[in-house]
Structures are given as structure tokens and as C-alpha cells.
Structure 1
Amino acid sequence: MATSECGEPERRFGRTRSDSQHTEAWKRHIIRQLKYRDKAQKTLFQDLIRSYLSLLERCTQKAFITKGLLSVTRPLLHPSSEDSPSSLKRATGELAYQVVELQHEIKIKETCLEKQHARLRECQNDLGAVQLEHGRLQASVADVEEGNRLLKSKYDLLLERHQHTEQAYRKEELSGSELLEDMIRWKQQAAERMNSRNERRVRAREAGRNKHPEAASSKTFNFDEELQSASSPSSSSTSSSPSSPSFLRSESNERVERVQGRLFRSASATSPRFLGSIKGLFERKRRGSSICNLEEHISSPLGICLAARVPTKAVHLLDAHELGINAVRFSPRSNLLATGGTDRVIKLWDIAAGMLHYRGTLDGSNEGITSIEFDSTGTRILAASYDNSALFWRLDDFVPKFTLTGHSRKVTAARFKSHLKQVVTGSADRTVKIWDLQRAACIRTIEVLSYCSDAVCSEYYIISGHYDRKIRFWDSRAASCTQEVPLQGRVTSLDISPNHRELLSCSRDESLQLVDLRMSNARMAFRADGFKCGSDSTKAIFSPDGSYLVAGSADGAVYIWNVGTGKLETQLPDLHRSSVNAVAWSMSGEYVVSVDKSRKAILWSDI
């Protein structure tokens, strides 16, 4: 019974679901039939509807036109009774005229439209040509870039080879210098051994003579007698016999001369000139033929200044150049003065009776002169120039012997090295170059981080001053910076004391700095009220005895400091009309010369 009761509702529920599904089916069928009928009937009337819409649109346009015409012709259609026909004719003519004008305007517009279409076609053609040219240029750019990449790869390869070659060259140069030092050391040892042997021989002979003093005295007496008898003709026959006293004396003299000759030769073997000749022979063998004569390397004896005299007054004033003067230098013998300026020449002056006498002019520079340097013999002059070069003259020829070119900007300093066969130049292109005078070629380039304003050098070291307020010490054999000394202003000049123990620098912080080269941390500053560094190339120097410092100021005065006391010794009157660029102190210690931007040179003395 329970089973039947439960089963009955289930069957009832099943019938209800089937009935609902059947109802949904016939509804969907009816909807589909209605959509189909609507589509079929609408298709039949679609053309009619479009035609109706077109007619309706035309009617609307006509109504609009009619309305406009009515507004225009209403006064004409209802005129007064007298002139209605004439008014109608006039209105009709005006309308016709307007129609003609509109047609003319339409033609003009059509002509303009055709021209614009033609211009548009031309622009399209030009655009096509430009696009073609653009494509061609892009292809050429791609080719150039590819060529640049190939060139860059070749350049990198060549640069790498150059670096390897330069490293090998430096190694060979170092090995050559080591061989030279070994050779010199062996020669010194051989000379010492020869000296010791000669000394032993001399001592042995002196000891032998001391053993027989009576015989030695008798021989001396016999020598005197023989000299007296040699004056007579009868003595000529006996003077040549081996047993005669004269023969003994001549033999003893020859022995003494041979001993003295050996002593002289052994002593000269260790002299600097002998070692220099060995070094010169080695360098000539290594470098080839020289363009300089051997006489140029022989240093003439120079005077030594025992005490410089502080000048007190101006003894001679003159306009030395046509334009401003940048450099001045005395020769080592103090009898010749050289001045160089922006007028591209170096003028030579003789000093006699407290006056400057014109001697000659050295031509050859294409731009102004920035610095001048005499060699130690006083027969050659080296100058730096604004034309990116350094020039070399002999005093017996007013034309440069050769020009050192290789810098890319102006050369601010040119100095002889101590052995006079090399030259050091500093430039605004941030390089310092070492030149071989025998070949007139650059043998080493030192890259620096800043504008080089001045440089000084010794045998193996180069000291340079720069705009980045630093003094740099370079080992010229390895081209490496060994030390940097910072300052408070741009460095304008450098100078080394006569004993090579102190370095003087002038900088734009209106001071001079004295650096002890043995202890670079020990420094002394020199200042004075009124002293002002006038330019980036103002020169300050030592006196020839190293006791004083002298520099020119922007106000036209010359200031002299005492190195021992650190105080201002004197201030020479401001006779210059403009900033003093450079000063020079004669080796004799008697004269000081100052030059300025207004082409004036003044000779100072205490006489």
C-alpha cells in the first residue's frame, strides 16, 4: 500500500514534466512560423518602402525650395495693380542672373578642384620619389654603419697591436737602459781596478827608491853634471852611450812619463766626461746618425753667482716688441737677453753699460712665443709657440734649425733636459712630450688629465704644473706619475732652484709656493699685499744663488721675497703700464729684467 501511494505521485510528476515540455515545443514552433512570415512579407514590400522614402525626401526638398521661392516672390506675386507684370519680369531676370552666377561659381570651384587634384597627384608622385630616396638613403646608411663596424673592429685590432708593440718597446728601452747602466758600472769597476794596480806599482817603485837614498842622490848629482857637460861639444859623443848618465836620466824620465800617463788615463776613465762619451757612443750606435755636431755638446765654463744683488731702480726702459711680451730669459753667461712675444719673433739684446742694445731677431714661428730656454752652453735657444710646436735655433743662424710638431693645441713650455740631447714640451692638449734632438722626433708622450701650464725637468724626472691645481712628478723612463702635490689655485709657472733641491710654483691664488724636493710635504707660501697673479702664464723664478724669489704682479710692480726669512724683500716701482708676464735674473746676479703685456721691457739694477 505504501508502495502504491509512493508510486502514484511519481507518475503524476512525470506526466506534468512531459506536458510542460510539449507546451514549450509548440510555442517555439509558432514563433518560428511568425518570424518566417514576417520576413517573407517584408521582403515583398522592401522596394516599395525604399521608393516611398525616396519620394518623401524629394517632396521635403521641393517643399523647402518652394518655401524659399515663396518668400522671395511673395512681394512680386502680390504687387500693386500698376506694375505687377514688370515686377514679375524683373524678379524672373534676377533669378536667372543668380542661376548663371551660381553656375559660373560651380565651374570655378570645379576648376580649383581639378587643380587641387592635379597638385595632389604631384605631391603623391613627389612622396613616392622621396620614399624611394629615403629607402636608398637607409640602405646607404646601413652600408656605412656596416663599414664603420668593420673599421672599428680593424681599429680595435690595430690599437691592441699598438699597445702590445708599445709595451714591447718600453721593455726593450728599459732593458737598453739597464744594459747601459751595466756597461757604465763595468767600466767604472775596470777603471777602479786599473787605478788600484797603478797605485800599487807607484808605491812599489817609491819603496824601491827609498831603500837606496844615497844612490838616488848621487844619480841626481850626476844628472846635473851631465846637464852642464851637455852644453859643451865634447859631451855629444858620450851622451848616447847606454852607460852615460844622460841615457839613464832619459830612461828614468820616460818611465816617470809613462807612469804619469797611466795615472792620468786611469783617472780620466772614471770622470763624468769619459762616462758621458761612452754613453754617447752607445746611444749613437743605438739611435743612428746625429743631426748635431759634437761641438754642441761640449759645455763651456760658466760663471757662478755667489750672491745675487737685489735691484733697487730701473736703469733702462724700452718698447722691445710690437705687441705684448710673454717670455724673457738671460743666457748662462749673462751677456745676452732673449725676449719673445705675441708678434711671433724672438729678439736678442746685448747688455752693456746698463742698457739693452738690439742684436738680432729670430724668425720662424707662425704664432706668438710662450716660453724661451737657453741651453747650458748659451749657443742654442728653444722656444714654445702658440702654433702647436716648439722651435730650435742656433745663435749663428736666425732661421730655426728644426721645428718639433705633434701637439694638437698651443705649446706652453719647452725645456732642455740635463744632457741637452732631449727636450720636454708641455701643451694645452693635456700631454707632455719628450723629444730626441738627434732625430727631431717625439720618443714618448705622457697623457695628463689637465691643461699643462709649465714644466721643468732633470735627468730622469719631469715636473709639470696644471690647471687642475696640481703639480705632478713623472718618471720619464716609464711615463708614470710618481707623486701629485695639490695647490689652492691654477699653476701658472714652475722653476727649480740652482741646487735642484727646491721647486717654486706660482698659482692663481695670489701666492708662490716653495716645495722641498727632498721632503715634498715641507712647503712655504710667499704672499704680499698688492701682489696679484695677472694671467694664467705669469712666470716666477729663483735668483741665480737661490736666495730670492721674484715675480711680476697685475698692477705692474715687481715683487722680490727673501727665501731665508720668508718675507718680502722689496717691491720695485710699478713702472709697467699693464700686467707683468715674466721676469729674468742674470746669472751674474747683477740685473733683473721684467716684461709686460704692453710690449715694455725694463732693466733693473742696484747701480
Structure 2
Amino acid sequence: MVSCGHAEIQQQQCIWKETPVFLLIMATSECGEAERHFGNSDSKQSETWKRHIIRQLKYRDKAQKILFQDVIRSYLGLLERCTQKAFITKGILSVTRPLLLSSSEDSLSSLKTATGELAYQVVELQQEIKIKETFLEKQHARLYESQNDLSAVQLEYGKLQASVAEVEERNRLLKSKYDALLERHQHTERAYRKEELSGSELLEDMIHWKQQAAERMNDRNERRVRAREAGLNKDPEATANKKFNFDKVPQSASSPSSPSLLRSESGKRAERSHGRLFRSASATSPRFLGSIKDLFERKRRGSSICSLEEHLSTPSGICLAARVPNKAIHLLDAHELGINAVRFSPRSNLLATGGTDRVIKLWDIVAGMLHYRGTLDGSNEGITSIEFDSTGTRILAASYDKSALFWRLDDFVPKFTLTGHSRKVTAARFMCNLRQVVTGSADRTVKIWDLQRAACIQTIEVLSYCSDVVCSEYYVISGHYDRKIRFWDSRAASCTQEVPLQGRVTSLDISPNHRELLSCSRDESLQLVDLRRSNTRMAFRADGFKCGSDSTKAIFSPDGSYLVAGSADGTVYIWNVGTGNLETQLPDMHSSSVNAVAWSMSGEYVVSVDKSRRAILWSDI
């Protein structure tokens, strides 16, 4: 039955497919009949009729095909399904054919079993399909969530990019402002230095003018005295008979300096005690003229401008015998970072410490304890060395920012900054005349500066990294990384002598009597050089002593009898200069390398500082 139905379907399909051919045949036959009917009609007219008929046939074919196209398509689909069912039936028969050969009951049960298994497999496949569909739905849900998260992250990323661009733009503006401020600061600093130089020049001119005015006044007074002497000599008899009462001398008749002298208590006592003698003496007597001359000499001396040394130099305390400390009496963290330098004032009542935190701190020593007094700031980088002048009123410091700074103790802002080195300044010292300072730098130069003009007046090329400098009256002594100590004549800027050592020099110090030079070097020793005979040297060593850095400082005691230096292990070592032996070593209270030490001029205290910002006050009390 299936095969018969299939044949009928194919026959009908062929009929439908042959329909356009039939129509064409009919059209052709109609055209022939038309030709025979009209006979010898015009050939052109017959061609027109043929084309018209063909167009009509094509139009009808197209219209009929459109109407039945969906039906034909559905019919073809039904044919394909029937074909598939025939194939499935054929497969089932091939499976069940062996069973038909057996008994009918067995074949029926086997057919039922095969059908059940197939149904069971269909159910299992449907369940798996459902499971897969559920899993696929979950995956779609996760994909949707991931897409949402991704969109949120992309939105956040866009916001972050916008904020980064805003921050970069802000940083660029700040950088431009900083560059403008830096340029303005440099311009202001140059203008300030120029104004400071012009101010110092104006001050010098003013002092010169005052000196000239004082000289003119003194000359005027001398001419007035000489004129009075000449008038008295013309009438000696009248002058001899005339009595002078100095208590009633009018102010207009005296010199500018005599009223203050006559009003003083000592002048009154002198007049009372010697009044009769002066009244009986003539104005032309040598004693009278000598007193007037002394009077004007006092005025001239009082009007003169004293020198810087006369104004600043005051006698400092002298240490007769330094006391060797044996215990720590005060310990504190003096700075926020490591401490590089420490120095006592000449009067021993003030201590200055400088560190890598860019400041100098001042400390008073009261009852064996360090009490904070104030801070000197102004440096852009860490402090490398500190120096007091002989009066204890001024401080000079070297800095990592390629400059040296100068303070007065009555002002916590630097009075001026000495700039000109191209690398860090390792040392700064006052020269003996107090008008000049000398600085040593890592740029292999030593510079001499005039404090009144705040300008460099001499530059010495020292051939190697300069770690420290000291000054005598005419010489500048420098220590270097090339293991040499060099002596420079400050008047000629020439090297007069070189002293070789075994290690790079870390510090220099000169004895109180300026006869011996102390050096500390990286060969773990201290060398003592006799400045009168430079070939005479003495080395000081100790078990455990080791320089902790290239800037470790060693110094003399204030009486020159001892040497003191700090070690890398935190111990402070003290040697006796007379015997050359180690006098004592102070217990290791420091937790890191000791950078510098200072001994008070009174000989009572020693202070040591280290890299871990700790300062320790030592004494024998």
C-alpha cells in the first residue's frame, strides 16, 4: 500500500510538472490555426499575434504557479515524511524478521521487548535533552551575569581612565606651577644676592663716609684749637692775667667732645682737685695744651669704626685639664633621622647637632641633661658639618645641597647661603681672621669666602674628593679620598706639601695649640702629624675600632691630651696622646655606627651621635 501511494504521488507530480508544456503545445496549435485561418495575412501582423499569445500564456502560467506553489511545497514535505516512515518501517521489519521465523509468541514478546527498550531509550534521551537544556539555561544566565559584570567593569574602567587623565592634567599643571615658582625663586634669590651685595657695598660706602666725616670734624676741631692758640699767643699778658673757670665754660666755646667730658663725674672730681692749679696756669702752658690734645685724641678714637675682630673676639674659656668620661648620663633621640655632626660652643653651655633631617638643633646643658633650645632651618638637604666661631654667636654649616649656611644665634633663619659648589659640601670652617670661611666639597675644590660680601674670593683645585678641611693662620689643610693630606698656601693657592696615608681620609682636626694635626682614615687608624716636622707621625689603633663611614669624625680634647672617635660597632674610643695607648672605651650605648663626637671646652662633657638619630652625653660625674 505504501508503494502504491508513492507511485500515485509521483504520477501526480509529473502531471503538475508537465502542465506548462501542455499549455505551450496548445498555444502553438492555436497559432497554427490562426495562420491557416487568415491565410496570406501580413507576416508582420502574425508575428505580433504570436508575441501577444506568448505573453498571455506566460502571464497565465505565472499566475497559476503562484496560486499552487504553497500547495506543491506542502505536498513535497508530506512526500518526504512518507519516505522517512517507509524507511523506519523497513528497519523494524528487518529487526523483527528473525523473530517471525520462531514461534509467534516469542516474536510477539521480543517485539514488545524491543519496543520497550526503544521507548526507554527515547525517554532517557528526552531526560538528557532536558538536563542539557537546563544546563544551557544556567550557562546563558551566567553569561548574562558575566556580560553585566563586564559592562560594569568597563564603565568603572572608563571612570578610572577619566580620573587618571584628570590627575595627569593636574600633575602637569602643578609641575608647570612648580617650575614657574622654582624659576621665580631662583630669580628672587639672584635678586636678593644682588641686593645683598649692593647693600654691603652701600654699608661700606656709608662707613667710609662716616670715617671721612669724623676726620673732617677732627680736622675742624684741630684748626679751631690752633686758631685759639694763635689768638692767645698774640695777647699773652691778657691771657696770663685772665682766670679760667672750667665749671662755667659755655658750651659754645668748647669743643664738641668737651661738654660730655666735663659733665662726667671723673671730670668734676679732677676739676675740684686741681681747680686752683688750672686757674693759675695760662692757656698756653704745655699741660693745658696736652690736656686738650688728649681730649681730641679720645674723640678721634671714639669716632672710629672698630674692626670685626675687636667687635666679636671675646676671650673664650681655657681648659686646663680635660676629664676622661666613664659613663653615660643622658640619652635621647635628638633628630628624626641620622645625625651627622655635633659641636660645642666655645663657652661649653650650648650644643649644636645636625642631621639628615635638614635642620640644626640647639641644646642647653643643665644639670647634666640636654634641654632643647631651638632649631635652625633653611637647608634643602642634610647637614654634613657644624662649626661655631670663637665668640659662640655664629654658626657655619655644610650641607648636601651644594652650599654652606651661616646663622646668627639671635635669628633662626640663615643670614646668607654660600652657593657655588657643584656637589655636596663636606666641610665648612671659620678662618682665623673671622672675616672669611673655607669650604671643602666632593667636586674636588676648596673655596674661600668673604663673609661681608657673601662671595667666593678664591677657588683651589684640590685634585681629589675633599672629605674635610682645617685652617691655620696662612694654610688650609684638606683631607682626600686619594689617601692624602694636602697643605695649601691660602695666599698663593698652591700646594706646599702632601702627606700620604694608608686609607681614604674621613676627617681632620687641629690641636688647640695649632702644632699637631689629627686625621682619621678608613685603614681603621688615627694619625697624628707634627706640623712643625711633618715627617714625624704617630698612629693610634685599637682592637675593635673601625670607621663606620667615609665621614667618621675624630677630634682632640680641649687641652690636646686625648683623642676621641666613634666606631662602627657603637663604641666610643679615647686614646692618650702622651702615651699613645688606649685610655678607655665607653660602653656600647649606641645601636649603630657613631658618626661624630664633641668635647666641651670646659673638659667636662663628651657627646657622641650616631646614624640612628641618638645623642649620648658622657661625663665622669
What range is the shorter-chain TM-score in?
Answer: 0.5 to 0.7
CA contact 1:297–1:420 (8 Å) conserved in 2: no
Match of 1:320 among 324, 329, 334: 334
Cα 1:261–1:399 shift into 2, 3 Å: same
Q: How does 1:165-204 map to 2 (within 5 A)?
A: none
CA distance in 2, matches of 1:520, 1:238: 64
Match of 1:355 in 2: 369
**Pair 1:492 & 2:506 matched:** yes
Report the alpha carbon displacement of residue 238 of structure 1 after superposing the two structures with TM.
14
Match of 1:404 in 2: 418
**Pair 1:593 & 2:593 matched:** no
Match of 1:447 in 2: 461
Q: How does 1:294-373 map to 2 (within 5 A)?
A: 294=308, 297-373=311-387
Q: How does 1:41-440 map to 2 (within 5 A)?
A: 294=308, 297-440=311-454
CA contact 1:371–1:385 (8 Å) conserved in 2: yes
Cα 1:404–1:296 shift into 2, 3 Å: farther
CA distance in 2, matches of 1:424, 1:366: 20
For structure 2, list consecutive stretches of 5 or more residues without a partner in the other structure. 1-270
CA distance in 1, matches of 2:433, 2:531: 21
Report the alpha carbon displacement of residue 597 of structure 1 after superposing the two structures with TM.
0.2
Cα 1:441–1:526 shift into 2, 3 Å: same
**Pair 1:480 & 2:494 matched:** yes
Cα 1:448–1:238 shift into 2, 3 Å: closer
Paired letter, 1:508? R
SS at match of 2:492: coil
Match of 2:470 among 432, 456, 461: 456
Cα 1:590–1:257 shift into 2, 3 Å: farther
Please list the CA deviations of residues 51-77 of structure 1 after superposition, one character each: whole Å capped at 9, or x if unmatched.
Answer: xxxxxxxxxxxxxxxxxxxxxxxxxxx
Cα 1:311–1:402 shift into 2, 3 Å: same
CA contact 2:464–2:480 (8 Å) conserved in 1: yes
Match of 2:590 among 544, 557, 576: 576
CA distance in 1, matches of 2:538, 2:315: 33
SS at match of 1:400: coil
CA distance in 2, matches of 1:251, 1:530: 83
**Pair 1:547 & 2:561 matched:** yes
Q: Which structure has the larger Rg over C-alpha atoms?
A: 2
SS at match of 2:373: strand
SS at match of 1:587: coil
Paired letter, 2:549? S
Report the alpha carbon displacement of residue 296 of structure 1 after superposing the two structures with TM.
8.6
CA distance in 1, matches of 2:537, 2:619: 30
Match of 2:42 in 1: none
CA contact 1:431–1:446 (8 Å) conserved in 2: yes
Paired letter, 1:473? F
Please list the CA deviations of residues 164-187 of structure 1 after superposition, one character each: whole Å capped at 9, or x if unmatched.
Answer: xxxxxxxxxxxxxxxxxxxxxxxx
CA contact 2:344–2:350 (8 Å) conserved in 1: yes
TM-score for both structures, normalised by structure 1:
0.54
Cα 1:323–1:239 shift into 2, 3 Å: closer
Report the alpha carbon displacement of residue 321 of structure 1 after superposing the two structures with TM.
0.2
Paired letter, 2:354? G
CA distance in 1, matches of 2:276, 2:373: 66
SS at match of 2:414: strand
**Pair 1:562 & 2:562 matched:** no
Report the alpha carbon displacement of residue 360 of structure 1 after superposing the two structures with TM.
0.2
Aligned residues: 347
Match of 1:67 in 2: none
CA distance in 2, matches of 1:353, 1:454: 34
Match of 1:537 in 2: 551
Please list the CA deviations of residues 280-300 of structure 1 after superposition, one character each: whole Å capped at 9, or x if unmatched.
Answer: 6xxxxxxxxxxxxx5894212
Cα 1:258–1:335 shift into 2, 3 Å: same
CA contact 2:354–2:385 (8 Å) conserved in 1: yes
CA distance in 2, matches of 1:256, 1:495: 56
CA distance in 1, matches of 2:512, 2:473: 15
Paired letter, 2:595? N
Please list the CA deviations of residues 378-420 of structure 1 after superposition, one character each: whole Å capped at 9, or x if unmatched.
Answer: 0100000000000000101111111001101000000000011
Cα 1:519–1:398 shift into 2, 3 Å: same
Cα 1:492–1:256 shift into 2, 3 Å: farther
SS at match of 1:477: coil
Paired letter, 2:317? G
Paired letter, 1:594? S
Cα 1:303–1:238 shift into 2, 3 Å: closer
CA distance in 1, matches of 2:548, 2:322: 26
Paired letter, 1:426? G
CA distance in 2, matches of 1:350, 1:253: 58
**Pair 1:506 & 2:520 matched:** yes
Match of 2:254 in 1: none
CA distance in 2, matches of 1:540, 1:239: 64
Cα 1:575–1:298 shift into 2, 3 Å: same
CA distance in 1, matches of 2:425, 2:609: 20
CA distance in 2, matches of 1:252, 1:383: 61
Report the alpha carbon displacement of residue 458 of structure 1 after superposing the two structures with TM.
1.8
Report the alpha carbon displacement of residue 459 of structure 1 after superposing the two structures with TM.
2.4
Cα 1:375–1:237 shift into 2, 3 Å: closer
Paired letter, 1:344? R
CA distance in 2, matches of 1:406, 1:432: 11
CA distance in 2, matches of 1:420, 1:317: 34
For structure 1, list consecutive stretches of 5 or more residues without a partner in the other structure. 1-235, 270-275, 281-293
Paired letter, 1:541? I
CA contact 2:394–2:409 (8 Å) conserved in 1: yes
SS at match of 2:502: coil
CA distance in 2, matches of 1:553, 1:316: 20
CA contact 2:503–2:523 (8 Å) conserved in 1: yes
Cα 1:354–1:260 shift into 2, 3 Å: farther
CA distance in 1, matches of 2:453, 2:562: 38
CA distance in 1, matches of 2:578, 2:493: 35
Report the alpha carbon displacement of residue 453 of structure 1 after superposing the two structures with TM.
0.2
CA contact 1:452–1:465 (8 Å) conserved in 2: yes
Please list the CA deviations of residues 76-108 of structure 1 after superposition, one character each: whole Å capped at 9, or x if unmatched.
Answer: xxxxxxxxxxxxxxxxxxxxxxxxxxxxxxxxx
SS at match of 1:398: coil
Match of 1:524 in 2: 538
CA contact 1:239–1:247 (8 Å) conserved in 2: no
CA distance in 2, matches of 1:238, 1:452: 68
CA distance in 2, matches of 1:240, 1:592: 62
CA distance in 2, matches of 1:450, 1:464: 10
